[in-house]
């Protein structure tokens, strides 16, 4: 999970350098995030149907090798078309990989500890935020951004070996029929959960995609300091992941509402604090990071429970709509950055997070009135 998620988001810390070297605008470089996300959104669910019928161990080994090969291709042929082609391929595979890993973890611990299991798998996502993305930014500052992809390729090969050696062999779980899986798409309550995930992640990534540029422009931080700031963001995310794993099993919708509130506040105040109250910027980045990472766990558990009869497919649909939100958020954030300055992206993210907060509150109220149909 560390290798796969770092691969998806490392470009967040590399966007300024990649845009400069590839002679692209910041918004055009932002499409490296968008293409990955859109590929995951459109092609992830059908691949998950196939992956769910295979040995989880084999799926994860194959995925690690595919990601390693793609990252090497980007490093050896640093051209915008190569980057786009590889990230389309990697994006297609992401939902299948993540859903297989998460559902396998839930099977290993039992239904009563799903939130705990998801938070443990999510440690890979936390590590990507704490170490992967900041390390990528630092490596780009010292040795050029292709170096980051070489490192990820090597780690991908290492992870393939570790999974082969240590991931437990599991019987292939009995899969629901494809009709049962597809029937989730006919349930209004389940579709509302997917819409909530999409809106929330659009808000998250309208801001997060451009956080390196925001810190450099608004707070005047250099490349190395931005790397350390991103590491602090990730460390706060580790705390958010820990909290989310312990509270989400009680009420995923309520947890979603609190996370959306924290995100809206942090993104709304990031630019003004960076400009005039830089001593408080660390606290804002910490709140932002904690809520950012908590959103991953809470969203996964919430949708997995809403579609329990086809959990892997439900998870892949959630990952797909989250990536659709990532694509929409990063694209719209890039347009806002080009037209109004990068400092404005936080306000866009905050507006979408506020919309997610209102949706979660309405859905929770509807569940209270009609629990049997939610």
Question: pLDDT tens across 308-317, in order?
Answer: 777 777 877 8
Q: What average pLDDT does range 192-208 have in this prediction?
A: 92
pLDDT value at position 274? Answer: 67
Q: What average pLDDT does range 97-114 have in this prediction?
A: 76
Tokens describing residue 268: 């709304």
- Which residue reads 């309405």 in tokens? 362
> Rounded mean pLDDT of the chain?
83
291-338 pLDDT, tens digit each? 998 998 899 889 888 887 777 778 778 888 887 888 888 888 888 888
pLDDT value at position 201? Answer: 94
3-state secondary structure of 295: helix
Q: How far is CA 207 from CA 17, 184, 202, 236, in A?
A: 18, 31, 9, 17
pLDDT band at 263 (very low <50, low <70, confident <90, very high): very high
50 pLDDT higher than 60: yes
**Nearest-angstrom CA–CA distance, 243 and 342:** 31
In contact, 55 and 170? CB cutoff 8 Å: yes
Tokens describing residue 43: 């092609």
pLDDT value at position 374? Answer: 42
Query: Would you list the domain boundaries of the chain?
Result: 2-373
Find the helix or strand (DSSP H, E) in which 210 lies.
none
- 2-373 to CATH, choices 1.20.1250.20, 3.90.850.10, 3.30.200.20, 3.90.1150.10: 1.20.1250.20
pLDDT band at 204 (very low <50, low <70, confident <90, very high): very high
**Nearest-angstrom CA–CA distance, 162 and 174:** 26
372 pLDDT higher than 60: no
pLDDT band at 373 (very low <50, low <70, confident <90, very high): very low
Tokens describing residue 57: 């161990």
């Amino acid at each position: 999970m560390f290798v796969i998620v770092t691969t998806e988001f490392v470009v967040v810390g590399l966007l300024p350098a990649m845009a400069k070297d590839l002679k692209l605008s910041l918004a055009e470089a932002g499409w490296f995030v968008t293409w990955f996300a859109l590929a995951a959104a459109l092609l992830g669910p059908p691949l998950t149907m196939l992956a769910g019928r295979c040995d989880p161990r084999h799926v994860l080994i194959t995925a690690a090798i595919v990601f390693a090969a793609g990252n090497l291709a980007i490093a050896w042929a640093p051209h915008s078309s190569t980057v786009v082609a590889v990230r389309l391929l990697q994006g297609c595979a992401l939902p299948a990989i993540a859903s297989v890993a998460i559902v396998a973890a839930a099977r290993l611990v039992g239904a009563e500890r799903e939130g705990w299991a998801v938070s443990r798998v999510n440690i890979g996502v936390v590590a990507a935020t704490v170490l992967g993305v900041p390390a990528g930014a630092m490596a780009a500052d010292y040795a050029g951004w292709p170096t980051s992809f070489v490192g990820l390729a090597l780690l991908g090969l290492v992870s393939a070996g570790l999974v082969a050696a240590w991931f437990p062999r599991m019987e292939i779980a009995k899969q629901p029929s494809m009709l049962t899986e597809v029937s989730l798409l006919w349930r209004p309550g389940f579709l509302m959960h997917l819409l909530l995930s999409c809106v929330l992640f659009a808000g998250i990534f309208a801001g997060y995609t451009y956080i390196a540029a925001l810190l450099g422009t608004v707070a005047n931080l250099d490349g190395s300091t931005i790397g350390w700031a991103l590491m602090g963001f990730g460390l706060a995310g580790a705390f958010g992941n820990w909290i989310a794993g312990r509270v989400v099993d009680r009420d995923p919708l309520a947890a979603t509402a609190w996370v959306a509130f924290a995100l809206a506040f942090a993104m709304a105040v990031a630019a003004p604090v960076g400009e005039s109250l830089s001593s408080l910027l660390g606290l804002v980045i910490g709140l932002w990071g904690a809520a950012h990472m908590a959103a991953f766990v809470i969203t996964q558990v919430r949708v997995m429970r809403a579609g329990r009869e086809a959990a892997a497919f439900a998870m892949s649909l959630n990952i797909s709509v989250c990536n659709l939100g990532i694509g929409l958020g990063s694209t719209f954030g890039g347009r806002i950055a080009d037209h109004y300055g990068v400092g404005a992206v936080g306000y866009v993210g905050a507006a979408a997070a506020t919309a997610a907060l209102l949706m979660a509150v309405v859905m929770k109220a509807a569940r209270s009135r009609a629990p049997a149909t939610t």
